[in-house]
Amino acid sequence: MIGENRGTMKKIAVLTSGGDAPGMNSAIRAVVYSASCMGIETIGILRGYDGLIDWETRALTKNDVRDINNRGGTILYSSRCERFFEETYRKQAAEQLRANGIDALVAIGGDGTMRGAIDLGKEGVNVICIPGTIDRDVSCSEYTLGFDTAANTATDAIDRIRDSSISHGRCSVVEVMGRKRGYIALWAGMAASADAIVLPEKWDGNFDHIMDMLRKHHAEGRDSYLVVVAEGVTDAAELANLILKETGIESRVSELGYIQRGGSPTAKDRMYGSLMGAYAVELLKEGKANQMVAIKNDLLISYNLEEALDIQNNELDSFQYQLSLSLSE
C-alpha cells in the first residue's frame, strides 16, 4: 500500500498535466533537487496522466534538470487525458505506481489535474498537486504557474498591435486565452490601457457598454482603440464587424493563441515554480498527502485536495475588475 511509506520515502514521481505553463520546469527541477537532497529518487512520468496509465517514464537526476529553468513548455510533456475519466484507467494508473515502488506523486497542472489527483487519492495514492496553468483558475491559490509569463507575453503582443492601430487610426480587437477565467484578459487589457475588456465572468451578451465607450473615445479624438476579449466569450470577428457598423471605426482582429503558453518563463514563474516544487517535497517529508500547494497572502500553504476543490469558484477579484472599468474611461 503506497500510504504506508509516509515519512520513509525512497522514490517519488512527478508529472505535468493539462495545458503546459511556463514555470512548470522550475517546479520539476525543484522537486528533483529537494528529493535528491533527502536521498529520494525521482521518476518523471511523461505526457501527464496518459503516461501514468501506460507507464511512460524517465528517471530524473539533478544533472537532467540543472539547466531547465529558462525553458518554456514542460520537459515531461503534457496531455489532456480523456481516459482518466474512467475508473478502470485510474485504477491502472494507481497500480503502475504501486508496482514500480513509487511512494508519492507530485502532479503539476490546473483544475483538471487537481480533479484527477483527488481520484488517484481515492485509489490509495499519496498525491501533492502544484497549481500550474496560465489561466490562474485554481481559486484556492492567489497564483498559478505560468500566469505572469502569459500576461506579460500578451501585453507585449498587444503593445505591438497598438503601434499599428495608431498608424491607421483603427480599433484592435485582441483575443487572449482563458476560456473560463478572464485574468489574462483583465491584466493584459489593463496593462495595455484597453478601451474595453470582455471577461467570461462578467459577460451578459450586451455590447452597448463597449460601443458607448468607443463612441466616446472617438468623439474625444483618440488615435487608436483597443478591445481585449477572453477566448470563448464572444466571436472576435463578429465583434469587430459590429464595431465598424455601430461606431464607424475600422477594426481588425488579432488572435494571440498559443504564443501565450510558450516562451521563457519570467523570474516570477521560475521563482514560484522553485518554491512550490520544493514545498511539495517538504509536505511529503512531513508525511502529508492529498494536498494542494497554494499561495495565500504571498505565503506558501497547502489545502486538502477536496477542500481546494470546494473553494473553486469563478469569481474575479472585484477591486481589480472595478478598477479596469474606471481606468478604461
Residues lying near ligand F6P in the complex (CB under 6 A) are found at 18-19, 80, 133-135, 177-179, 231, 261
Which of 20, 103, 119, 135 is labelled catalytic? 135
Q: Pick between residue 169 and residue 232 the one whose CB is nearest to ligand F6P.
A: 232
Q: How far is the CB of 299 from ligand F6P (least distance, A)?
A: 25
Helix locations, the chain, DSSP H: 24-37, 48-54, 62-65, 87-99, 111-122, 147-168, 183-191, 208-219, 236-247, 267-285, 305-311, 318-326
Q: Pick between residue 224 and residue 260 the one whose CB is nearest to ligand F6P.
A: 260
Residue type, 150: A
Length of the chain: 329
Q: How far is the CB of 125 from ligand F6P (least distance, A)?
A: 24
Which distant-in-sequence residues (6+ apart) come within 8 Å of 43 by Cβ? Answer: 11, 12, 13, 14, 57, 58, 59, 60, 100, 102
Q: How far is the CB of 223 from ligand F6P (least distance, A)?
A: 31
Q: Pick between residue 179 and residue 209 the one whose CB is nearest to ligand F6P.
A: 179
Q: Pick between residue 259 and residue 301 the one whose CB is nearest to ligand F6P.
A: 259
Q: Pick between residue 195 and residue 231 the one whose CB is nearest to ligand F6P.
A: 231
Rg (CA), the chain: 22
Residue number of the CB atom closest to ligand F6P: 19
DSSP structure class, residue 134: T
DSSP states along 227-277:
EEEETTSS-HHHHHHHHHHHH---EEEEE-GGGGT-SPPPHHHHHHHHHHH
Q: Pick between residue 177 and residue 196 the one whose CB is nearest to ligand F6P.
A: 177
Q: How far is the CB of 124 from ligand F6P (least distance, A)?
A: 29
Pairing of strands 41-45, 127-131: unpaired
| CB contact at 8 A, 66 and 75 | no
Q: For residue 101, how many other CB atoms are within 10 A of its CB?
A: 12
d(CA 147, CA 21): 8
Active site residue 135: yes
Q: How far is the CB of 146 from ligand F6P (least distance, A)?
A: 8
- Report how far apart, in Å, the C-alpha atoms of 198 and of each of 169, 231, 242 are: 21, 9, 15
Q: How far is the CB of 80 from ligand F6P (least distance, A)?
A: 5
| CB contact at 8 A, 90 and 283 | no
| Residues with catalytic function | 135
